[in-house]
Structure 1
């Protein structure tokens, strides 16, 4: 199927297909628990750094830059939707971060964030990954939803590049959930199920994002910027600090550089 044929499909359906792909890659990463019981800290930090780089690049190339261009085409002040949407996205994740119980990797359960709960450590670890899968799914959904008003090959290619980039960084995230759970005594099957479950929210957020953009067209530049702000919040709040744990911080930094370069290549080459 030629890529331009996809323009004939409903953007919501395309968003669903794209986020099902990103969920599938999360499951592939979680499946690494069937082959490994532990993961080298250097490798994990490198993968987390790579994920951070992908998300930073995607936030600009796939979300903020198109939002600014759309605002200019609509005759509005270009920086307004970019700045307002970006800050609202960060504020939204800040609120969710304060409310949703979750636990970052490598921390004891007394360091859990959000409202106090008696939930098990395993559930809190999964919720931490699930938390930053929300803006990832939303970003992909909004990107495909934009096709309703900009049905051109460049916009479609950019949305596909974003989905591929998010999918690439979902692989280490799936492994980062399932393998530590296996080390804590979970069976391989149960650890896998928990790991892939962290990506379930992406198709839900993707469809919601695409639908909202189709329903309220003027929100598109704000929605793109909102997704960018939410993603950057996750990078600064979670991925970078977690990737810098330990003594080999250079590896996570190199991973971030490679992740950024990979996402930039995908977006510029395809978009």
Structure 2
């Protein structure tokens, strides 16, 4: 861990963010590759995996993003440190809300008739991939923003905390990659195409990571807003997409336990290592 942190600390923050988000993308691909070795994924494990994903995202939103945003804002706006966090959080949520309403997509466990966004005749596979792509934008953005914040010397934010966030996102991307690829396989798509589409859903993370790191590196005053923006985007995804998907079958309790475990793991990682 220390060697990785040391290596990334010596790189330009945008390059470090790119490498970190490439890692999260590759972990998604690794999870999707399980489609070559398993015939199916039981619904209970799919719900537990999605719950775990939601827990990691919730914990990261506070410990890695909102808390540093509020601490740093205290330097810029004494006595009003809540303002940038509140504004950024709302803007991040509204950004994903707008994408959700405009971009055609379909959540994993939903029927074709439940597709969201602008009406289209696109194939179910395309709609599924777009749903996960929207999900992955705030994850890549969060990692990039944190690397940019570390380069700007924000109190409470270090390269180590950015690495921990990338590791946590990668940790939840592994089961997510499998949870995306397997339903595609169940639809009759070949294993190779299921893997390809499963990993493709996370290719947006390096793009969002680079954009986030570059934005906060060169425009320092937006830092607390950007950190809270990423948090708002992630929490919107969890509440609007991840949690509802885990509550559509009889394994709701298992899904909630998965979320609790994911939250705990990310919290421990961030506090102990970040």
Q: Common fold, TM-score beyond 0.5? A: yes
Corresponding residue number in structure 2 for 1:122:
125
TM-score by length of 1: 0.97
User: 2:69 maps to which residue?
Assistant: 67
1:23 equivalenced with 2:25 (yes/no):
yes
Select 1:252's aligned residue among 255, 259, 263: 255
| Cα deviation digits, residues 196-238 of structure 1 (max 9, x gap) | 0000000000000001111211000000000000000000001
- Cα separation, 2, equivalents of 1:134 and 1:98: 15
Q: Distance in 2 between matches of 1:79 and 1:152?
A: 16
Instruction: Give matches, 1:98-177, under 5 Å.
Output: 98-150=101-153, 155-177=158-180
Could you give the per-residue CA deviations for residues 30-65 of structure 1, whole angstroms, max 9, x where no partner exists? 111101121011111001000000000000000000
Between 57-66 and 73-82, the greater mean CA deviation after superposition: 73-82
Q: 2:268 aligns with which of 230, 252, 265?
A: 265
Counterpart pick for 1:191 among 190, 194, 198: 194
Separation in structure 2 between the aligned mates of residue 256 and residue 156 of structure 1, nearest angstrom: 26
Deviation at 1:105, TM superposition (A): 1.4
Shift of 1:9: 1.3
Note the residue ranges of structure 1 that are not aligned, 5 or more in a row. Answer: none
5+ long unaligned stretches in structure 2:
none
Is the CA contact (8 Å cut-off) linking 2:149 and 2:157 kept in structure 1?
no
Task: Give distance in 2, aligned partners of 1:255 and 1:57.
Answer: 13
Q: CA deviation at 1:2?
A: 6.2
TM-score by length of 2: 0.96
Task: State whether residues 7 and 152 of structure 1, in contact with CA within 8 Å, keep that contact through their aligned partners in structure 2.
Answer: no
